[in-house]
Chains A and B, each alone.
Chain A
Amino acid sequence: MSLSEQVPKTIPAPRKITTQPRFTDKVFRGVVTSGGLFAGLLLGLIGFFLVFNGFEAMRAAGLSFITGFDWVDAVPEDGQPASYGIGAMLYGTMVTGILAMIMGVPVAVGTALFLSYYAPEWIKKPMVVVVDVMAAIPSIVFGLWGYFVLMPHAEYWAKLIHKYFGFIPFFDMPAPVFTRSPFIAGLVLAIMIIPIVTAVSREVFAQTPLERIQAAYALGATKWTMIKAVVFPYGRGGVIGGAMLGLGRALGETVAVYTVLNLVYDIRIEVLLSAGGNVASMIVNKFGEADPVELQALMGAGFVLFLVTLGVNFLANFIINKTARE
Chain B
Amino acid sequence: MSQALLTAKPQYPWKLTPKDLLTDLAGAVFALISTLAIVGFSPLKGKLGFALTLIVMSILTATVISWVRRDRKAAINSSTTVLVYIAASFVIIALASVLYEIIRLGAPGFSLSIFTKDMSQTASDMPLTEGGLLHAVIGTGYLVLFAALFATPIGILTALYIVEVKGRFAGTVRFFVQAMSGVPSIVAGLFIFAFWMIQLGNAYSGLAGCFALTVLMIPTVARTAEEVLKLIPQDLREAGLALGATQWRTVAMVVIPAARSGLITAVILGIARVVGETAPLLLTIGGADAINLNPTSGNMSAFPYYVWKNLLIGSENAVSRAWLGVFVLMILVLIFFALARYFGAAKGSRK
Residues in chain A within 8 A of chain B (CB atoms): 15, 21-22, 24-25, 27-29, 31-40, 42-43, 45-46, 49-50, 52-53, 106-111, 113-115, 118-119, 127, 130-134, 136-145, 147-149, 153, 156-157, 160, 191, 194, 198, 222-225, 227, 245, 248-249, 251-255, 259, 280, 283-284, 287, 295, 298-299, 302, 305-306, 309-310, 312-314, 316-317
A-B contact pairs, 15 of them (CB 8 A): A25-B247, A32-B160, A36-B158, A42-B215, A43-B183, A50-B190, A53-B198, A53-B199, A110-B83, A118-B81, A137-B333, A255-B282, A284-B282, A309-B183, A313-B182
Whether A114 and B184, one on each chain, are in contact in the complex, defined by CB atoms closer than 8 angstroms, is no
Instruction: Return A274 CB to nearest CB of chain B, in Å.
Output: 17
Who on chain B is nearest to A157 by CB? B48
Kindly identify which residue among A29, A114, A137, A284 contacts B98, using a CB–CB cutoff of 8 Å: A137
B177 within 8 A of A: yes
Whether B77 and A46, one on each chain, are in contact in the complex, defined by CB atoms closer than 8 angstroms, is no
B262 within 8 A of A: no
Who on chain A is nearest to B219 by CB? A39
Whether A46 and B187, one on each chain, are in contact in the complex, defined by CB atoms closer than 8 angstroms, is yes
Who on chain B is nearest to A146 by CB? B98
CA distance A203 to B1 in the complex (A): 52
Kindly identify which residue among B92, B102, B157, B195 contacts A49, using a CB–CB cutoff of 8 Å: B195
Whether B87 and A111, one on each chain, are in contact in the complex, defined by CB atoms closer than 8 angstroms, is yes
Instruction: Write out the residue numbers on chain A whose beta carbons fall within 8 Å of the beta carbon of B88.
Output: 110-111, 114-115, 118-119, 127
6 A-B pairs with least C-beta separation: A138-B276, A252-B184, A110-B87, A35-B157, A36-B161, A313-B182
Whether B186 and A254, one on each chain, are in contact in the complex, defined by CB atoms closer than 8 angstroms, is yes
CA distance A32 to B311 in the complex (A): 44
Kindly identify which residue among A28, A245, A287 contacts B248, using a CB–CB cutoff of 8 Å: A28
Whether B278 and A254, one on each chain, are in contact in the complex, defined by CB atoms closer than 8 angstroms, is yes
B213 within 8 A of A: no
Whether B48 and A137, one on each chain, are in contact in the complex, defined by CB atoms closer than 8 angstroms, is no
Please judge, given known A-B contacts A29-B165, A32-B164, A287-B283, whether A133 and B74 are in contact too, CB under 8 Å.
no
Whether A132 and B184, one on each chain, are in contact in the complex, defined by CB atoms closer than 8 angstroms, is no
- The stretch among B3-11, B29-37, B129-137, B319-327 that forms the contact with chain A is B319-327
Whether B84 and A113, one on each chain, are in contact in the complex, defined by CB atoms closer than 8 angstroms, is yes
Instruction: Write out the residue numbers on chain B whose beta carbons fall within 8 Å of the beta carbon of A287.
Output: 282-283
Who on chain A is nearest to B279 by CB? A254
Please judge, given known A-B contacts A37-B173, A49-B195, whether A136 and B333 are in contact too, CB under 8 Å.
yes
CA distance A32 to B247 in the complex (A): 12
CA distance A43 to B219 in the complex (A): 11
Kindly identify which residue among B97, B101, B173, B190 contacts A39, using a CB–CB cutoff of 8 Å: B173
Kindly identify which residue among A35, A227, A306 contacts B184, using a CB–CB cutoff of 8 Å: A306
Residues in chain B within 8 A of chain A (CB atoms): 46, 48, 73-74, 76-77, 80-81, 83-88, 90-92, 94-95, 97-98, 101-102, 105, 153-155, 157-158, 160-162, 164-165, 167, 169-170, 172-173, 175-188, 190-191, 194-195, 198-199, 215, 218-219, 222, 244, 246-249, 251, 272-273, 275-279, 282-283, 304, 307-308, 311, 319, 322-323, 326, 329-330, 333-334, 336-337
Q: A50-B190, A225-B77 provided; 13 other pairs, C-beta below 8 A?
A: A27-B248, A32-B157, A35-B154, A36-B165, A39-B154, A127-B91, A140-B308, A143-B311, A160-B48, A224-B81, A248-B182, A252-B184, A312-B182
CA distance A29 to B101 in the complex (A): 51
Instruction: Write out the residue numbers on chain A whose beta carbons fall within 8 Å of the beta carbon of B333.
Output: 136-138
CA distance A253 to B199 in the complex (A): 26
Most buried by A among B91, B176, B272: B91
Whether B157 and A31, one on each chain, are in contact in the complex, defined by CB atoms closer than 8 angstroms, is yes
CA distance A220 to B90 in the complex (A): 31
Whether A145 and B191, one on each chain, are in contact in the complex, defined by CB atoms closer than 8 angstroms, is no
Instruction: Write out the residue numbers on chain B whose beta carbons fall within 8 Å of the beta carbon of A33.
Output: 161, 165, 167
Whether A138 and B337, one on each chain, are in contact in the complex, defined by CB atoms closer than 8 angstroms, is no
CA distance A119 to B84 in the complex (A): 10
Instruction: Write out the residue numbers on chain B whose beta carbons fall within 8 Å of the beta carbon of A134.
Output: 91, 94-95, 98
Instruction: Return A78 CB to nearest CB of chain B, in Å.
Output: 28
CA distance A115 to B176 in the complex (A): 31
Please judge, given known A-B contacts A36-B167, A53-B194, A130-B95, whether A148 and B182 are in contact too, CB under 8 Å.
no
Kindly identify which residue among A21, A39, A50, A144 contacts B326, using a CB–CB cutoff of 8 Å: A144
CA distance A149 to B87 in the complex (A): 21
Whether B172 and A40, one on each chain, are in contact in the complex, defined by CB atoms closer than 8 angstroms, is yes
Whether B187 and A305, one on each chain, are in contact in the complex, defined by CB atoms closer than 8 angstroms, is yes
Instruction: Return B251 CB to nearest CB of chain A, in Å.
Output: 7
Whether B95 and A133, one on each chain, are in contact in the complex, defined by CB atoms closer than 8 angstroms, is yes
CA distance A102 to B170 in the complex (A): 36
Whether B173 and A36, one on each chain, are in contact in the complex, defined by CB atoms closer than 8 angstroms, is yes
Who on chain A is nearest to B175 by CB? A317
Instruction: Write out the residue numbers on chain B whose beta carbons fall within 8 Å of the beta carbon of A38.
Output: 154
Instruction: Write out the residue numbers on chain B whose beta carbons fall within 8 Å of the beta carbon of A110.
Output: 83-84, 86-88
Whether A156 and B48, one on each chain, are in contact in the complex, defined by CB atoms closer than 8 angstroms, is yes
Who on chain B is nearest to A137 by CB? B98
Instruction: Write out the residue numbers on chain B whose beta carbons fall within 8 Å of the beta carbon of A31.
Output: 157
Instruction: Write out the residue numbers on chain A whose beta carbons fall within 8 Å of the beta carbon of B334.
Output: 133, 136
CA distance A287 to B280 in the complex (A): 12
Most buried by B among A28, A148, A194, A316: A28
Instruction: Write out the residue numbers on chain A whose beta carbons fall within 8 Å of the beta carbon of B86.
Output: 110
Whether A254 and B247, one on each chain, are in contact in the complex, defined by CB atoms closer than 8 angstroms, is no
CA distance A254 to B276 in the complex (A): 13
Whether B304 and A138, one on each chain, are in contact in the complex, defined by CB atoms closer than 8 angstroms, is yes
Whether B186 and A52, one on each chain, are in contact in the complex, defined by CB atoms closer than 8 angstroms, is no
CA distance A251 to B182 in the complex (A): 10
Kindly identify which residue among A35, A222, A252 contacts B74, using a CB–CB cutoff of 8 Å: A222
